[in-house]
Chains A and B, each alone.
Chain A
Amino acid sequence: KSISPTAVTPLDRRRGQLAALSIAAVVIIVGVPLWWRTTETYRAWLPVSQIKDLAKLQLHLSADVEVVFARVDGDLLVQFIILRLQNMKPARYETKYRTATIMEEDALKKPTAAEADLSLHMLSESPCGSLVVYVIPESSSLLPEDVNVYIGQRRTALVRISAQMRVGKTLEQLLAQLEPRIKQVLQVMSFSHTDITVALSDRVRFRPGNKESIADSMRAFKSSPGYEITFSLLNPDPKSHQLHWDIEGAVQTYIQPLLTKLSPLANFSIDSQTLYYTMLGVTPRFDSSLEAYTLNADSLAHVINPVEARLGSNAASSNPVLNFLLYVPDIRHSPLYIHDHRKQEVPSNAFHSPRWGGIMVYNVNGFYGSETEFPVHVNINMAKVMGVFLAQLRLLLGVQSLSPPPGFLVAPCGSTGLADWELDRLMWSRSVENIATATTTITSLAQLLDQIGNIVINDNIAQQVSSAVTSLQLAMAELEVGNLGFALQYSKEAILASEKAFFDPSLLHLLYFPDDQKFAIYIPLFLPMCVPILLSMLKIVSEVRQRRREKQAKKE
């Protein structure tokens, strides 16, 4: 019996089946996991659950308030009052009450409120974010007649109560007067609900209560780790005026103290320049009644653009720039005054643009007569100029100018240009803003990375995100306790880390792979390989089935 060479013996068939099965096994057990591992993108672990918790953003803010009673006739009375106050529950907040020490009493006996404030400050320095309210009796002569509250330059306020210190029914009067007064003081000197809502305006869509709050939120620069301040002197007529300004000295004396005080908030870098032959884009009108040229408020909006093209900026940093321009009008348009909507002259002769900077017009025609030889040497009075720029700088950085409630007297802000409690308010709104922005950034980053499965998440990004999350938690904890300085610092760290993570150049997702493209890529690679395996599998299965049928048939 001869077997044809092409006949398939059972042994061959067995060998073939084993080969097909082993290849299929290798492909499935070794090949598929290997392919999966080598084509997956590296994604470092992110603390997603903590980010979700942070996204709820439950902020608890607290501030230390200390109320000090100046001694009145009869110690007993004051102690009794303190006991009564501490036992009263209906107040929403708890405050610390105590009587004044001897040294504080001496300080409160000073002739004017400003001196009292100064000597109180010398006695003890209140930490960042706290407040001390001194309650003085009506008999005290510190405050003028119609003023009931004096808000000092630092963190103290003097409140005068005008009830006779008698036990009994006037105690209720005393309390009734004290509590709302203290609330008003807190509204002015410390954070308020509106401030916090404005700081969170990115996240919380609020119905703006008043026009001023919208204007305030649009005017101040957003929180940024650094700012650049540029002072420019615009001299359109160097043939007539040769201007000298001691900008270095002026910055050192007037601006630097403010910036040093604001250094917990951000870094500042200052430049200055002089620009020649730069005109304002608007032609001023001659007003014969004043013998001067005027710019009215409506045309001011078109002044800035032609000038801005020439200003230049520091190419290396991407920090927001505040421009302060000092414009000295040319001799044909001197003197130049700015008029408001009611045709009244603006005393500072300056205007500012939200989130951009300020321009001041400085007239020099008063410094020389008509017979002088041109060019005239002019020394600019930097104190006056810097006074205006400092006011504009305050507004642009977010120090709100509130009109205090009636009966309040607010001390002028001093040589640094910023009172301590104004700094505290800024710090609060900045901390809240930083925390909100960092939380939004981290949340949207986490969501973006979740949605797009193809983005590679490197280790450094994961580390930045983790450190941002840690800083955020610490910042919220510090805010709850009332350590404003630490809270601001942590919030700054959080925002730096979150911005770094979000704007990392490696997170660009050009890997938009729709599903049909995925099929188009993998089918030519895997189909030719899989078809023989699949077919041999099918053949094995059909043979097994056939054998089983034969066995069945044999049994019967």
Chain B
Amino acid sequence: MEDVSAKFVSQKISRTRWRPLPAAALQPPDIFATGSWDNEDNRISIWSAGDLGNAGLNGEYHGEPRLLCDIQHNGDVMDMQFLDQERIVVASSTGTVTIFRHHQNNQTLSANHRWDKAHYHVDQDTSCGGAACTGVVCNNPEIVTVGEDGRINLFRADQKDAVRTIDNADSSTLHAVTFLRTTEILTVNSIGQLKIWDLRHQRNEPSQIFSLAGDRVPLHCVDRHPNQQHIVATGGQDGMLSIWDIRQGTMPVSLLNAHEAEMWEVHFHPSNPDHLFTCSEDGSLWHWDTSTNVSEKPSFLHQGGRSTAYLSHSTINQSVVSAWLSNDPTKDRMEITNLIPNQTLSVNSLDVLGPCLVYGTDAEAIYVNRQLFA
């Protein structure tokens, strides 16, 4: 693991996120944000993965992440997402949702907008207590948040009040949210359900409910296949990875035994979706690779001459579908690697972009892997 650089940062990291690259960018990502939890003084920090001078032509890289700026944050950072190049939306355990702006010219962070008590409990004594906001997802300018209060909020970055609020959307805690399409969102909750909500409908009920059979194992994270929107991956409390096909059935297509404890995050690679990454409380981070069998086929097709490119492309697409959705008992088509040997404390968050992976742990360290597919 020589190509991984680490830094101990003296705060437990709950979220790490790459700053999205501008559309035409050719360089690998450099800037990422982290959020901390369970400190007396929690912070949002912006880091540079390394100074460009060091990343030579041969791709060798030895520097450690460098802090650019940070700002104090009230409460644990529960979730975090870049709204655009400059703005980050942060969900707090106090129920507040804040947009921070990263001023790149003078390297400072400032609070840009704040929705106080976006999530709250109605106490019996009629006093309002904040409830932790557990998940946030953005599709500029829309922001959707979910929380321990089972509430779903839809905000717009430029509007003061919530555009839409679904009270009591869920009787249990909502753990994560993601966009399915521009108007539909997916949520997972603590009784093993995956729900689809259509925000166009005024009814405060999910348009579809999927659930794990039997054990009601809580689901902690959800991600959607970047190209094929019907493929959804979720991770559960028992560390199981479930792949769902939301076009059919109410149960997962496949359940893959994975980690030994809570799976905190699951991410398809945004541009290379036959790769999937998961991290867990047991301190492991897994790379799921379904492209192995694909790589053999194009080599066979290469004999075909000029049409290869097109052919192999379509083949890849097909086999990706079958790779994630196959009920095939021969699971060995998938290559799984644990990227962290000998880790003991929880890996709370990961993010992938291009060839780069960043993850943060309860052992108060952040790691950047710049050559994921080397």
Asked if chains A and B come from one complex, the reply is no
Interface residues of B (CB under 8 A from A): none
